[in-house]
Amino acid sequence: MPTIPFSYECSKDAGFVMDPNEAKRVGYIIELEGFQIAKMNQDLHVCVPYNHEGTLGYTEFKPEADPGGGPLKIVKVVGVIEKFEWNGGVGDPLKFEFYVSQTNAHNIKAAQQTTLKTTTVKTLKFWICDFDQETKRWFEQAYPKSKPALNGLITGKENPELDVDLNPVAAKDGIDVNVYKVTMGVVPAANEAFALHFANSSEKPVAKSWGLKVGDLAKVY
């Protein structure tokens, strides 16, 4: 059976500061821990447009109400995603391009410069949402479904696919906050399997397997 690739371009600008007059796809690295770095700081406070009742993809990812009384929700994240790619195979890497704070960027660079002793990713939580133009609703487009977090390995043993650009860029034009771009690829660890949620509309979610494990992956839909 042929695999179906997934590729999502997210708006960096909207990820940091959403324009209430626009509806652009946004995504976040919620938690990240591994490759010699303790749990990375959730030091970016952003507003998300998804305002349905209940929680977002994770029970831990509970937005606080906008102090201004608006429809947006405040969340604390590690990074703002600009691009997500997965070729669809159970062993194919999940590839991310995302922006982090100066502190997190320097921690990653320090780990690189000392040569990674381990490429293990202990915790990876990500979440992407988009706007359905037909139903006029925000919906969850991609996140880990079977478990709240993934674990795996940075792609490539000799040349790990983990890089950070220490050239600062503005979080958004007109905002005096600098962030730093990280590129990362993650493959599943041996004997680990997860279900990933994907959707291209608010009505038709699907679950796809990532990783291989003895026994069948539990159905989640």
CA 18 to CA 6: how far, in whole Å? Answer: 24
User: Which pair of tokens denotes residue 200?
Assistant: 């291209």
Q: Would the pTM of this model clear 0.75, i.e. be above it?
A: yes
pLDDT of residue 135: 85
Does the structure show a pLDDT above 90 at 194?
yes
pLDDT tens-place string over residues 74-127: 788 999 999 999 999 999 999 999 999 999 999 888 877 776 677 889 999 999
pLDDT at 214 over 80: no
Of residues 165 and 158, more confidence is placed in 165
pLDDT tens profile 4-34: 899 999 999 999 988 877 889 999 999 999 8
CA angle 198, 84, 132 (to 5 degrees): 45
Tokens of 173: 């034009």
Closest to 59 in 3D by CA, of 133, 178, 145: 145
What pLDDT shows up at residue 193? 92
Show me where the domains of the chain are located.
6-212
What pLDDT was estimated at residue 173? Answer: 82
